């Protein structure tokens, strides 16, 4: 527990400090997180990141993650997706000219992983560039959901949520996580009304409940991946916490839905 607390404080302070600073420093940090996340998901499947498909897929993930238009405006407004497609097409060309070394199915895993990770981190950066409040709102929704689900699940949990995927999660804990997220989010808009989204309270509560549920889905997806590949944690880069995917699995799902529903 001591190791977990120290890691949480140090890693959290670094992430939040650079998030507040914003700009290129935060972009670099998130780009590095995307690379580590790609390393972890490749390792789960016992693939080498330092392979042709690993390098191209990681470049594709970075192309989605980073604000390429901001740094290379000559590439056009949709350069993220275009660059992702370019790296995919290069890999498909390699498939043709390597005489069966790679099949179409072999390309699916690395580039689906790149899309999953790249889109999540892309929307994290977009949220920060739009509003520091929105970034912190997502973070606190996910943290409150995890904390509420853990303590309420331990105290009142009786009904298993998805025992085949995550045996310790309960329906009661899940609902407790949603309630906790709503409470924390309402406290945020009470303390910082000028920074909060200009929507009604009921609308806001509904959105927070959706984000909390989506965050839990992201966590279950990563649990399912780990169970499928037979690993306990996605990585060991954060002692006591596991890997980057273990910490960002919920946020990877939440930020794109926040974007879709118009919060940034």
Cα(72)–Cα(56) distance, integer angstroms: 20
Instruction: Please state, rounded to an integer, the average pLDDT across all residues of the chain.
Output: 94
- The confidence band for 222, taking pLDDT boundaries of 50, 70 and 90, is very high
Phi, psi for 163 (deg, rounded to 5): -60, -25
Q: What is the mean pLDDT of residues 120-143?
A: 97
Query: CB under 8 Å, gap of 24 or more: what pairs does 11-19 form?
Result: 11/238, 11/241, 11/247, 19/128, 19/132, 19/135
Can you give the pLDDT at residue 1? 62
Can you give the pLDDT at residue 236? 85
Taking 3-state DSSP, the helix, strand and coil percentages for the chain, each rounded to the nearest 5, stand at: 75, 5, 20
Share of the chain above pLDDT 90, in %: 84
Domain boundaries, the chain: 1-130, 131-264
Q: What is the pLDDT of residues 69-91, one digit of tens each?
A: 999 989 888 899 999 999 999 99
Q: What is the mean pLDDT of residues 15-38?
A: 96
Can you give the pLDDT at residue 129? 93
For residue 166, give the H/E element and its range: strand 166-170
Q: What is the pLDDT of residues 81-121, one digit of tens each?
A: 999 999 999 999 999 998 778 888 889 999 999 999 999 99
Q: What is the pLDDT of residues 199-216, one digit of tens each?
A: 999 999 999 999 999 999
């Amino acid at each position: 527990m001591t190791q977990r607390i120290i890691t949480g404080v140090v890693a959290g302070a670094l992430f939040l400090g650079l998030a507040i600073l914003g700009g290129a420093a935060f972009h670099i940090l998130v780009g590095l997180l995307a690379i580590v996340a790609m390393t972890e998901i490749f390792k789960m499947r016992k693939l080498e990141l330092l392979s042709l498909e690993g390098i191209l897929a990681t470049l594709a993930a970075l192309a989605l993650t980073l604000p390429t238009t901001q740094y290379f405006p000559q590439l056009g407004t949709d350069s993220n997706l275009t660059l992702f497609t370019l790296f995919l097409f290069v890999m498909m060309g390699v498939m043709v000219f390597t005489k069966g070394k790679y099949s179409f199915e072999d390309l699916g895993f690395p580039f689906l992983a790149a899309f999953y990770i790249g889109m999540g981190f892309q929307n994290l950066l977009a949220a920060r560039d739009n509003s520091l409040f929105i970034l912190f709102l997502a973070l606190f929704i996910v943290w409150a959901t995890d904390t509420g689900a853990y303590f309420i699940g331990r105290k009142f949990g009786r009904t298993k949520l998805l025992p085949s995927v995550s045996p310790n999660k309960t329906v009661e804990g899940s609902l407790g996580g949603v309630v906790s997220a709503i409470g924390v989010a309402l406290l945020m808009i009470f303390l910082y009304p000028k920074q909060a989204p200009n929507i009604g309270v009921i609308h806001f509560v509904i959105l927070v409940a959706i984000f909390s549920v989506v965050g839990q889905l992201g966590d279950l997806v990563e649990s399912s991946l780990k169970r499928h590949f037979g690993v306990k944690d996605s990585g060991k880069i954060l002692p006591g916490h596991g890997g980057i995917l273990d910490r960002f699995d919920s946020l990877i799902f939440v930020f794109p839905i926040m974007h879709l529903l118009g919060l940034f």
